[in-house]
Structure 1
């Protein structure tokens, strides 16, 4: 079926949502990136690493602390400019959509964090990444969690109609869907990947903006944040993000 000329292209759609990410520093997002690396460290493979989607380059910096060989695929040239200024020449950047990415390189580690909820066809994107893995490589797939405690509270408040409803912030960020762990695992398996591990990152009782206002103050201490991280290891369905570590099927 031909594309509808009245509909924006994926590149145009991506450019339209960049403003929602802003330039403001988010203490909660920074902590989540640290927690993500902490959760994944036991499962990382040595060798070339591919990051799909870099935003402002914060996670890219963390990956470069862990891996010597990092390639970044990012659809937004604006984000590449920001991330490259942050990390210099330590990473290779490729501008384009992951579905169109072509290379002879194969990767031991692929990080696909908070991107799957944006793509047109998640199974197609995951099959592409499966083919970019080495035989022993691992894909680290992370998405926002529809069942996070904060979203459950939002439903009870009638701020959301149901757990998988797209919030105004979801729409502004260009999200097309919100995953539960079972639906994330479903799409992963449908793409021909085996799930080696799955879980959640950070028990989340508050919305992002509430954490951003309270982190570092008397109400949200480092001990409280650590407690939420540890509790999230036991209760994935209440976490801010859910993930799978997948291998080629």
Structure 2
């Protein structure tokens, strides 16, 4: 019932520097500490409501699942379990997002960046004490114009495992201290995937931060420590422009 999205990364031209980051295990630890206001130089920015953009954009198809398969995982979409399947909006269009499990119990994910795997061989389990945990390290991509450090685009994806308490996860970006819309996705059978972005051009020297909300079915905040609930600074185009893929 679904499809693989081939790795979508900005194309680097002579005047464009693309920093594509596949976030490592160390980032998981950093994320678990990001809720600490003392860790963020912009944590004191007041949280003001903005519009909500629901990124969930319909169901996936059998062809989407088939395209996400590889010879080492499975060869027949009818022989895998779809643990999570939804189309989601991205900066330019939409794509299927999938969590699949094969007959051996192996898990494979696909989103706008392509295939991904869980960060740990033993899948994390969410609970009342830890209602949000990371399924993978996630991915992000900064595209910055040459030495001027003008941001062309920033795209990010987050893979989470959540407890039954969690109905929705929201994320928004702060650009020069101004809050953008909340990107929102609904939990599905204990999984959450969220695609979010900042569109350029944004001038050199622009500051960026991100912030999350985890909500129950009544729209009430679910206490958790995995995601930063106050604005947390992002490096943006000042990061130096190194690229690491895979």
TM over 0.5: no
Higher RCO, Cα 8 Å, sep 6+: 2
TM-score in terms of structure 1 length: 0.28
As a proportion of its length, which structure holds more strand? 2
